[in-house]
Structure 1
Amino acid sequence: MLSTLKKQVHSRQKALIIAAFSLIFSACIALPWLFRHAISENARFENFAESLFEKEVSENVLNLHYSLANPEKQGISRPRASLGTLATDNSNAIRQYEQYEAKLKTFSPAKLSQTNRLTLDMLLLYYHTQASLGEHYLLEEPLGPSLGIQAQLPVLLAEYNFYNNQDITDYLNLLTTTGDYFQSILAFERAKSDAGFFMSDETLDRIQTQCRSFIQDPDSNYMLEIFSQKLKDYGKLSEKDQKQLNQAHRQILKEKVLPAYQKLIEGLEQLRGTGKNSGGLANFSGGKEYYQYLLQSKVGIYLPVKQLEQRLTQQLSADSREISLLLKKYPDLFSQQSQNTDLPAMEPETIVNLLQEKIRQDFPETPAVGFEIRTVHKSMEEFLSPAFYLTPPMDTGSPNVIYINNGRSISNLELFTTLAHEGFPGHLYQTVYFARQNPAHIRYLIDSGGYVEGWATYVESYAYDYAAQYLSRENTTQESQRQAASEAIPSAALTRAAWLNRSVNLCIYSLLDIGIHYRGWTPSQAARFLNAFGIRDASAISEIYRYIVETPANYLKYYVGYLNFLDLKEEQQTLLGEDFDLKAFHQQILAIGPVQFPVLKKYINQAL
C-alpha cells in the first residue's frame, strides 16, 4: 500500500510539473501572437497619437514655443517663425478632422490599454465635434475687447520666454509677421460681413478702443520694457548685444507691430455698419446650431439645451433654499457681510503658500512646485481678466506664472478665492498634477474648456471654506462688533454665504447666456430677467448683456463645468455610500485629466 501511494504521489507531482511546463510553453508560443494583436495595437495607436501631436504643435512657432521649450530634443524641427493665417474657408480643416476620425476608428479599443482607450475616446469625440462645425465656420469671432486675439497677443508675446538664442530670433521674426496675420483676420471679417455675420458697431468700438490703448504711446509701450528685462534675465548676452537687440526690437515694434494694429483699426472701420445684429447668436442664420457646437467644443457637454436649462434652474433653486436657511438661522448674516467683514490683507504669494497647505485635507498631495506672481501692465488692465494662469511648456513644467490685474478692485476674500482658482487647487495644481501622470503628448494640446474652468470654479467652493479661519472683523465698527459677537455668526456661515452668492450670480449669467444666444432675448428681455433677481442698475445690465453677446458660452465653461463636477461627486457618494473618499475622488478626476464630460464620467465609473 505504501509503495502504491508513493507511486501515486510521484505520478501526481510529475503531472503537475508537466502541466506547468505546458503552460510556460503555451505562453511562449502565445507571446508573438499577443505582440502582433495586443501590444502592437497600443504601439500603433501611440505612434498615431504622437504624429497628431507633432503636426498640431508644429503649425506655428507660437504654439510650438508654448508647448515645448526645447523642441529639438523631441525630434521636432522649428517651422518658419510666423503667427500663421486665419483661413476664410474651413473645408480643408473639416476634411482633415474627418480623416483623423476615420483613422481613429480603425483602432480596436479592446486591444488598447485603459490609458490609450481614454485618449482614443477623447480624440474621437474631439475630431467629430470639430468636423460638425461645417458651414457655421463664419460665425466664429476671433476678435473681442478682452478675450479676442488682438487683446491676448501682446500678453502671449510678452511671456515668450528665451531659453536659447534661437528663441530671441524667433520672437523678433514673429513680430514682423503681425501685419500679415492681422490682414488674414481682416479677410475673415470681410467674409463674415459678406455673409451677414459681422459684429455690431458697439462691439467694433470696444475692440478699436482696446487696440488704440495698446498703440497710443509707442515710446513707452510695455513690450519694450519687458523685452529689455527678459534679455537681462537671459544672462547670456553682452551689454552691447543687448543694446543692439533692444534697438532692433524697438524698430520692429514701431514699424511692424503698432502699424499692424492701426491697419486693423482702419480695416474694421471700413466694415462699420455692416453688422446688423446687436444681439445673440440666435439672431443669425444657423446661430442656434453654432451655439450647440460651442456647448460641445468649449464646454464639453452633449445635452439638449432644454435639459441644460433645467439643471441650471435646479441649482439656482437649491442655492436659494440654502441661503434662505442660513438667513433663517442668522437673520443678520448679510448685514454683517456688508459691514466690511473681510480677510486681512495678505500678499498674493502668502495666500498661494497658505492654500498649498490647506488643500491637503481634501486633495491629493503633489511635490512642491515653484510659482511666480506677476502683475498686468497698466496699459492692459482695462481689457484683461482679474487674474489668469499661463501654463508652462510640457518639457520643463516651469515657469508657473499667475497674473494679477491690479486694475480690477476686489476684496481680500475675492483675492484669496481667485488665487485658489488660478493656483491651488485650481489651474496650476491641476496642470502640474496631470503632467506628472506622464500623459500622451497630444493631451497637452487637446483638452476641454469646461473641465479646465469648471474644475477651477469647483475648487473655489473649498477655498471659501478655507478662508473662514482667516476671516477678520477688525475693520468693522464697535457697534457691529458687539452685534456680531452677540449673534455669534460663525465665520464658516459668512464664507459659505459668500460662495452661494457667487454661485447664484454665475448661474444667473449662465441662464442669461442661453437666453441671449439660444432664445434670442433682446436687451429688454434680458433686463426683465435680471430685474427678477434684484439687478436693476441700467448701466450694469447693459454691460452684462454686451459681455455675454461678445463671449457666447464663456460663463458656461465655468459654471456648467462646475455643475458637472458637483454632479459627479454626488453620484459617486450615492454609489459608494460610506466607502466614498473625497480625496480619492479628486485623485481620479485629476489623473484622468481634461476631457469632455461624457468621457470623464465613463472613466470615473470604470474606476469603481
Structure 2
Amino acid sequence: MKFKKIISVFLIFLLVISITSCKQSDIPKEYTDLTYDEYITKLFQKEVNSDSITLNYTLAHPENFGIKEIEPTFGEYSAKSIKEDYAAAENYIKVLKSYPYDSLTEEQQITYDVLYNYLQDQCVPGKLILYNEILSPTTGLQAQLPVLLAEYNFYDKEDIANYIQLLSTIKDYFSEIVEFEKTKSKKGLFMSDTTLNQIIEQCTTFSKSKENNYLIDIFNEKIDSFEGLSEAEAEAFKNKNKTAVLEYVLPAYEYLITELSTLKGTTKNEYGLSHLPNGKEYYEHLVRIYTGSDKSVKEIDKLLDATISSCIQNIKQIANDDASIYEKIQTYDYPLTNPEEILDYLQEAVSADFPPLEEVNCSIKYVPESLENYLSPAFYLTPALDCYNENSIYINGSDQYDLNDIFTTVAHEGYPGHLYQNVYYNQQHPNPIRCILGFGGYAEGWATYVELYSYKLSGLDENLTEVLINNMIATLCLYAKVDIGIHYYGWDLKETYKYLQTYGLTNTDSLLSIYNAIIGEPCNYLKYTVGYLELAQLKEKAEKALGQKFILLNFHKFILDMGPCQFYVLDKYLDKWIAEQQ
C-alpha cells in the first residue's frame, strides 16, 4: 500500500468506524511483540520505501530512519497491486487494534485516530477497484510526473545514478497503467473521449520536445550546481541522462499515446460517475477521500446552497451601501505583482495572526512551456521532511492566467498557505508517519482559507475586498455544486449550462471548459471548497464557544499543530482545546 503526499494524484480513503479489540493470533508475525511506537516506525519504514519517488520526496537521509534504499522503481499499478494494498491495510488495522487506546498518550492517540481512519477506508469493496483512475488532464500522473522528475532531489552522487536508472523503468510502469486502462475499457469503465483527447494532446506536446527537452536542460543545470563532481563525472552524468530521456522517457510517453489512442470510442459513458453501475457509490468514496469530511453528499450539497445564498446577499448589501463598487471591480489592481516581493511581504504581514516560522528558502520557478496548458496556475512541491528548508513554488506563465492577480495565489501556495503549513508542521517534529498521509481537504482547505484571508492584506479597498472574498467563495461553491450535479445527480451538459446560467454565467466556451474539467477530474473542486467550509465551521464553533476569549492566532496554532488529518478528528480535539482556552 502506498501513502502519497507529493502532489494530489493518488487516492486516499477516509472512513470512520468504531474501534474494537483484536486477538493476538490475528496479528501478522512481523508485527508481534512490537510496542506501539515501534510498530508505527516499522509501518513508516515499509511504506516510505515502496517506490523511489515517494522515498526521494519524503526523506533526504533515509539511513537516519533505518531505511535501506531499494532498487529504483516507480512501484506497481495494477488491479492486483491495488488489492494487495487493501489487504495490507487490513493487516495494519489488525495490529492497531491490538494496542489499548486508553494506554496511549494524547499524541499517540491523535496519530492512532488519523491513521486508523485513513487505513480503514483503504478496504473498499473489490467491485470498485477498476473505478480508480491515475490518468487525468490536470492532476493525472502523466501531467505531474515530468515536474516530479525535474525536481527529483540530488543529495549525493548515488541519488543522481538512481535517478537515471529510474528513468529506464518508466516504460514498464506505463505498460502496467495501459493494461489497467484496457481492463477498464473491457468492463465499460474507461474515461470519456473528451478527457482521453486532452491527455493524448498533453502527452504529445511534452514528447515533441526532443534534444531540448526541459528534463535535459534542468538536469544539466542541477549537475552544474552540484558540488563534489569532477568535470568528467558531470559530463558523464549529463550524457547518461540525455540518453535516458531520449531512449526511455519520451518513447514511454509516445507508447502511452499509441496505446491510449486504440481505446478511443470504447467508453460506455461520456457523462459523470453516476451513470456507471456503481458510480454513485464510488463518488461517495471520492468525496470522503478528497474532502476529509464525514458529511454526506446531500449534506454538502445543502451547505453549498446556503453558502452561495449568503455570499450573494453579502455582495448585494455592499453594492447597496457603496454605489462605486461596480467601478472598483472593473478597475482594481494589486499593489504587488512580483511573486518574490509578494512572498517577502506576506512573511511579515501574517505574523500577527499566525505562529512564527523559522526562516526557510523558497525558489520561485516557472512551469515549462510544454506543460503550461495542462498544469494549475501555480503549485507547491512538498519538501523532504528532514530537509524542509528548501522549498519550490511553480508559477504557470501561460497567457490563460493573469499574473497581475497573483497576489492571493502566492498566499495560497506560499505564506501562509502550503509552504507555511508544511514547514510549520515539520518544525514540530511530528511522528514521521503523519508526514506521508495525504489529506487534500485539510491541505487545500487551509490554503483556500488563508488565500481568502490574504485579500485583507492586499492593500485593496475594504468594500472591494469583501466583494472579492464573497465572490470567490460563491464561485468555488458553484463549481462544487456542478461536480456533485454531474457525478452524483447525473447532470448532462445541458443541465449544467442551465444551472450555471441562473447565476449569470453565459459564455458557452467557459461553460464547456468547466463541464469538461469536472468530467475529467471528479471531486477536484470539492477538496478546496469543502475543505474551506469545514475549517470555517470549526472557526465559527470556536468563536461562539469562546466569545471574547477567542484569539485567532491561537486557533490557527491549534489547526497547524494538529497537522493534516480528517476534519472529524480536528473537531474531536477542538472540543478539548476550547475547554483549555476557557
- TM-score w.r.t. the length of structure 2 is 0.92
Give unpaired runs (5+ residues) of structure 2.
Answer: 1-31
Query: Counterparts of 1:253-264 in structure 2 under 5 Å?
Result: 253-264=245-256
Q: Secondary structure at the match of 1:360?
A: coil
CA–CA separation in structure 1 for the residues paired with 2:245 and 2:402:
37
1:373 counterpart SS class: strand
For residues 22-81 of structure 1, what are the alpha-carbon distances to aligned partners after superposition, in whole Å with 9 as ceiling and x for unaligned?
A: xxxxxxxxxxxxxxxxxxx99821111111111110111111010001111222000110
Moved runs in structure 1, 4+ residues, more than 6 A? Answer: none
Corresponding position of 1:587: 557
If asked which structure has higher relative contact order (CA below 8 Å, sep 6+), I would say 2
2:576 maps to a residue whose letter is Q
Which residue of 475, 489, 506 maps to 1:519?
Answer: 489
Q: 1:353 to 1:328 in 2, by over 3 A?
A: same
**In the alignment, is residue 360 of structure 1 matched against residue 354 of structure 2?**
no
Paired position in structure 1 for 2:360: 369
Extract unaligned runs of 5+ from structure 1.
1-40, 472-490
- Match for residue 548 of structure 1? 518
What is the rounded CA distance, in whole Å, between the counterparts of 2:452 and 2:264 in structure 1? 43
- 1:331, 1:280 → 2: CA distance? 42
Report the Cα offset of residue 401 of structure 1.
0.7
Higher mean Cα deviation, 52-61 or 124-133?
124-133
In structure 2, C-alpha distance between the alignment counterparts of 1:411 and 1:200, rounded to whole Å: 30
Contact 1:139/1:197, CA 8 A, preserved across alignment: yes
Aligned mates of 2:35, 2:429 — CA distance in 1: 18
Coordinate RMSD, CA, aligned: 1.5
Equivalent residue letter for 2:87: R
Matched, 1:437 2:407: no
Match of 1:243 in 2: 235
Tell me, in whole angstroms, the C-alpha distance in 1 between the residues paired with 2:530 and 2:521: 15
Q: Which has the higher helix share?
A: 1
Other-structure match for 2:144: 152
Give the letter aligned to residue 180 of structure 1. D
Write the mapping of 1:12-23 to structure 2, written as runs, cut at 5 A: none
Provide the aligned length of Structure 1 versus Structure 2.
546
Residue 82 of structure 1 aligns to a residue whose secondary structure is coil
The match for 1:268 is 260
Between structure 1 and structure 2, the one with the greater Rg is: 1
Q: Structure 1 residue aligned with 2:173, among 169, 181, 191?
A: 181
Q: Which moved more, 1:293-302 or 1:561-570?
A: 293-302
Return the offset for 1:413. 6.1
Task: Measure the CA separation in 1 of the matches of 2:33 and 2:489.
Answer: 46
Distance 2:496 2:535 in 1: 28
What secondary structure does 1:372 align onto?
strand
Corresponding position of 1:399: 390
More deviation in 137-146 or 117-126?
Answer: 137-146
Where do residues 438-477 of structure 1 align in structure 2 (5 Å cutoff)?
Answer: 438-467=429-458, 469=459, 471=460
Q: Distance in 2 between matches of 1:293 and 1:195?
A: 20
CA distance in 2 between partners of 1:383 and 1:413 (Å): 20
Indicate whether 1:45 and 2:15 are aligned: no
Please report how far the alpha carbon of residue 373 of structure 1 lies from its aligned counterpart in structure 2 after TM superposition: 0.8
- Cα offsets for 1:216-269 (capped at 9, x unmatched): 121111111000000011122122222222111111111111111111111111
> Distance between the aligned counterparts of 2:157 and 2:213, measured in 1?
24
Cα deviation digits, residues 351-410 of structure 1 (max 9, x gap): 011101111121112222221111111111111111000111111113111111111554
- Counting only pairs closer than 5 Å after superposition, residues 334-353 of structure 1 correspond to structure 2 as 334-339=326-331, 341-353=332-344
Provide the C-alpha distance between the structure 2 equivalents of 1:301 and 1:454, rounded to a whole number of angstroms.
11
**d(CA) in 2 for partners of 1:197, 1:123:** 31
1:215 to 207, 222, 242: 207
**Which residue does the alignment assign to 1:561?**
531
Aligned counterpart, 2:273: 281
Structure 2 distance, partners of 1:152, 1:412, is 22
SS at match of 2:355: coil
Q: In structure 2, what is the equivalent of residue 297 of structure 1?
A: 289
Contact conserved, 1:375 with 1:406, CA < 8 A, in 2? yes
Tell me which amino acid in the other structure corresponds to 2:149.
Answer: L
SS at match of 1:498: helix
**Structure 1 residues 557-601: Cα deviation after superposition (integer angstroms, max 9, x where no partner):** 001000001000000111111111111000000000000111111
Match of 1:423 among 414, 419, 427: 414
Task: Determine the structure 1 residue equivalent to 2:477.
Answer: 507
In the TM superposition, what is the alpha-carbon distance from 1:96 to its structure 2 partner? 1.4
Offset from partner CA, 1:302-338 (integer Å, 9 cap, x none) = 2221111111111111111110110010123122211
Q: CA deviation at 1:135?
A: 2.0
- How many angstroms apart in 2 are the aligned matches of 1:447 and 1:83? 18
> Which residue number corresponds to residue 51 of structure 2?
60
Q: Distance in 2 between matches of 1:304 and 1:146?
A: 26
Contact 2:45 2:66 in 1 (8 A): no
1:105 to 97, 102, 112: 97
Matched residue, 1:4: none
- The match for 1:170 is 162
Are the aligned partners of 1:535 and 1:541 in contact in 2 as well (CA < 8 Å)? Answer: yes
- Shift of residue 346, structure 1, vs aligned partner: 3.5
- What is the CA distance between 1:99 and its match in structure 2? 1.5
Query: Retained in 1: the 8 A contact 2:339–2:410?
Result: yes
Counterpart Cα distance in 1 of 2:292 and 2:128: 18
